[in-house]
Amino acid sequence: MRNSTFLTETRKGAEEQFWTPCFVKFLSEKVEIPISVFLGEKKSPPWFSSRKVSPFITYDEIFVPKKQKGISGKDLVRYINNKFKTSIGEDAFIEEEGDVSGIIFDLVLASKTGIYILENKPYDRITFSWNQRGGNCYEKYVKRINDFGVDCQLLYILSIGIDNSSCSEISTIQQGLGDKFGIILLEHLFELMDKHKFEYQGISNWKDFSLASPDYQ
């Protein structure tokens, strides 16, 4: 048994074409998802543990756009207004508060009480856009949605095997958002896929790539 990157790296650069559609299809089964946190930059494991606040999430809807890649910040505002009967205007997202322009989310899950924004980062080395980095537009966007009374969380789908530079940026984002940030470890997601006997384009041996110890506590 190995960690998830031994599988994801075989399809390098295929987040949009392969991995995001794979996760969308699986998450359509409405599974309970374990949420983790990064324990900080230390000299020895464990690096991750279960999130103390809301260690699992449930949801009843997946918001996936039909005609474009990803979900724009504007589209998500319209979706939130429709679902939660809010009246958030685009003018709420001025530059210093989390500019809505240039924001494209991979996937959004919704429950009766809130929104989960998922960013898919399946490889050992994560590439962050400027908007995604700590303190920038994604973080500010999440905070502004919460300001309007809608629980909004940013969740990163990533491997327990990410490199040190990726860990550093994840730590910064986590510090900025607190309990409105979480991590969906691919190793845990693959375990769920195995449990549900999920198959995608010939892959069914998810369990072989779900090793989380000793890096997870």
Q: How far apart are the first and last CA of the chain?
A: 18
Q: How, if at all, do strands 71-72 and 61-63 pair?
A: unpaired
Residue 162 has pLDDT above 70, yes or no: yes
DSSP state of 212: -
What pLDDT digit, counting tens, does each position of 78-131 carry?
999 999 999 887 666 655 444 565 688 999 999 999 999 999 999 988 888 888
pLDDT, mean of residues 63-71: 73
41 assigned to some structural domain: yes
Q: Is the pLDDT of residue 66 over 60?
A: yes
In a domain, 48, yes or no: yes
Kindly report each contact of residues 211-215 with a partner whose C-beta sits within 8 Å and lies 24 or more positions away, as own/partner.
Answer: 211/1, 211/2, 211/3, 211/187, 212/3, 212/48, 212/160, 212/185, 212/187, 212/188, 214/45, 214/46, 215/3, 215/45, 215/46, 215/47, 215/48, 215/160, 215/161
Quote the number of domains for the chain: 1
User: 9-42, pLDDT tens digit by residue?
Assistant: 999 888 888 999 999 999 999 999 999 999 987 7
Both tokens of residue 43? 């000299």
pLDDT at res. 135: 83
- Would you give the distance in Å from CA 155 to the centre of its chain? 3
Query: Strand pairing of 104-105 and 114-121?
Result: unpaired
Domain range spanning residue 21? Answer: 5-209
Task: Decide if 181 is inside a domain.
Answer: yes
Q: CA 132, CA 151: separation in Å to the nearest integer?
A: 19
With respect to residue 139, please indicate whether it lies within any of the assigned structural domains: yes
| More confident of the two residues 26 and 65 | 26
Q: Does residue 115 fall inside a structural domain?
A: yes
217 lies in a domain? no
Question: Is 215 a domain residue?
Answer: no
Residue 69 within any structural domain of the chain: yes
